[in-house]
Structure 1
Amino acid sequence: MSEPDAAYAFGDSAPASERLALVARIFAPSTRSLLARLPARSGRRVLDVGCGPGHTTRLLAEVCGDAHVIGLDRSEVFLAEARRDAGPGGPSFVHADVTTPPLPHAPADVVYARYVLSHLGERAAVLRGWFETLVPEGVLVMEEPEWIEAVEDVLRRYLQITSGLMAARGGELYVGRELGAMARALGGRVLHDDIALVSPTTGDVATMFGLNLRAYRDDPWVLAHYDAATLDRIAAGLAAWRTLTDRGRIRWGVRQMIVERSSGLP
């Protein structure tokens, strides 16, 4: 996810791309389980908003069969990577600011967003714009962090920095806590609302967090609130865990929702 440029803290550098590949691998099973709940009718046109380098877009194309799946993102760097990896006959990718309606290729049968709203300021308005992109009986599918539990201080410190940086840019790391109220305010029918539990290996988490820290440690907000020694200690702690295969030091509660646009809505 890289929407929009002004709010997205993690950038579209090589480390950011590497991190998103790891995110895709960690969260693919829970996302696949969610997509298996899509109504059978919702397979015609699918928009993946804030698609980044296209990991979720390709997963949508796999799950949705012969649907026309289109990834939307503002990063030309990520879009070039997505087009390269999709290959001939794969999903298509379009440059777009997904925070500003109308979305390209609207209307859609499915609008999907994973870890996008957490980076945005005007979340309720953006969500409504996506919802209004849907055809009658189309569905909005969302995944966002509800909570992240960490037992190690270095992980908690990293999350504290990340949450603060996102808030400074108008986002909210734990936006899953807001998602239910925002989704129900749309006036559609909630088809699914649950928390998926994800517990990656310590090594995967340490690698993912280390890549993020590299991407944003020179951000002005970070430099104004944390000294170099603190950042170095966190980076060193994460680096020391990159090969660990145990689980349980950290886990995610991911809010997953599917909301249908009723046929009677304008």
Structure 2
Amino acid sequence: MSTAQTAAQAMVGATQRLRAAGVADPARDARILLAHAARIEASRVTLIAPEDLDPDIADRYEQLISLRAVRVPVSHLLGEREFYGRRFKVSSDVLDPRPETETLIEAALAQPFDRVLDLGLGSGCILVTLLAERTSATGVGADLSEPACLQASANAVLHRVQDRAEITCSNWFSAIEGRYDLIVSNPPYIALDEMAGLEAEVRDHEPEMALTDGGDGLGAYRELAAGAPDYLLPGGRLLVEIGPTQGSAVAALFDAAGLSEIRIIPDLDGRDRVVSAQIPG
């Protein structure tokens, strides 16, 4: 990009490039990335629109747009993503926090809990949010991925819950001890034969082990159903995020494991998103 360009001209050119690359909302992304390159809030982009871009900003913007054009997610370029009113540090090592996961947060917060276990921790957005919202609670977060555990630890520090959060590398329940009144999980639930149909941002830039179990998409729920009764206190709850077609299958797994009070909870778009169950008290 030439230094003779104004910020507005640079944004127009960037929007055209992103649209040609198949990016879903090219104007929004061009604006967000210009703000990031200029190190200003996105709301201030209009103020710099008539001004010539500083060469350093133009170079940073060129690099960001080039990466976005090959479908690197905006969150990876910014290094963060907003979730439940807080900003979480993210990278290609973890699944991006998604708005629909806030359905799981709301369901968890609908009843009291003192000790929570988050399996498949990822960025830590679920555990950290629950501890930040419920300031008397403590929790354990576990993930098979060491880089994910490090990312979650950083987010726990960022939101000042690190003293109440224990983070450990574990393959589901293998390294977990104790009992909990709440177990939560957003596990890999995409079937292997559905992976090819995902958007490039997800398929090519998010960790495969956080997306799919390599089978029918229900493998993690079988693990959770089998293990949860041994780790839940009497009356304790199990809450899992699901794909929108998996509600009845996951509910059946939980029922077969002896869990009760099984409910399928929709997200704001009306799609099945969370299965809630309880260990009999």
Aligned residues: 165
Any idea what SS the aligned residue of 1:255 has? strand
Given the alignment, which residue of 213, 227, 249 partners 1:129? 227
Q: Paired residue for 2:170?
A: 96
Any idea what SS the aligned residue of 2:273 has? strand
Q: Paired residue for 2:242?
A: 144
| Pair 1:125–1:27, CA change in 2 (3 A) | closer
Task: Give, in angstroms, the shift of residue 114 of structure 1.
Answer: 1.4
Q: Distance in 1 between matches of 2:102 and 2:184?
A: 16
Task: Give, in angstroms, the shift of residue 52 of structure 1.
Answer: 0.8
Q: Is the 8 A contact 2:255 2:262 kept in 1?
A: no
Q: Paired residue for 2:276?
A: 258
State the AA in 2 paired with 1:34.
A
Task: Give, in angstroms, the shift of residue 32 of structure 1.
Answer: 2.9
Q: Distance in 1 between matches of 2:186 and 2:150?
A: 20
1:105 aligns with 2:203: no
Q: How does 1:174-189 map to 2 (within 5 A)?
A: 175-189=246-260
Q: Which structure would you say has the larger RCO, counting Cα contacts within 8 Å and 6 or more residues apart?
A: 1
| Pair 1:64–1:20, CA change in 2 (3 A) | farther
1:86 aligns with 2:104: no
- With normalisation by structure 1, the TM-score equals 0.53
Q: Is the 8 A contact 2:247 2:264 kept in 1?
A: no
1:34 aligns with 2:52: no
* Greater C-alpha Rg: 2
State the AA in 2 paired with 1:188.
L
Q: Is the 8 A contact 2:94 2:148 kept in 1?
A: no
Task: Give, in angstroms, the shift of residue 194 of structure 1.
Answer: 2.3
RMSD: 2.9
| Pair 1:192–1:20, CA change in 2 (3 A) | farther
Q: Distance in 2 between matches of 1:33 and 1:124?
A: 24
Q: Distance in 2 between matches of 1:186 and 1:47?
A: 19
Any idea what SS the aligned residue of 1:132 has? helix
Given the alignment, which residue of 262, 267, 270 partners 1:196? 267
Q: Distance in 1 between matches of 2:240 and 2:256?
A: 15
Q: Distance in 1 between matches of 2:179 and 2:129?
A: 21
Q: Is the 8 A contact 1:111 1:140 kept in 2?
A: yes
CA displacement, residues 72-110 of structure 1 (integer Å, 9 cap, x when unaligned): 001111111111221154222111110xx4551321111
Query: Which 5+ residue runs of structure 1 have no aligned equivalent?
Result: 1-13, 148-174, 199-251
CA displacement, residues 117-156 of structure 1 (integer Å, 9 cap, x when unaligned): 5533544244221232111111111111124xxxxxxxxx
Q: Is the 8 A contact 1:193 1:257 kept in 2?
A: yes
| Pair 1:49–1:75, CA change in 2 (3 A) | same
Q: Distance in 1 between matches of 2:110 and 2:263?
A: 8
| Pair 1:255–1:190, CA change in 2 (3 A) | farther
CA displacement, residues 139-194 of structure 1 (integer Å, 9 cap, x when unaligned): 111111124xxxxxxxxxxxxxxxxxxxxxxxxxxx33411111221222225322
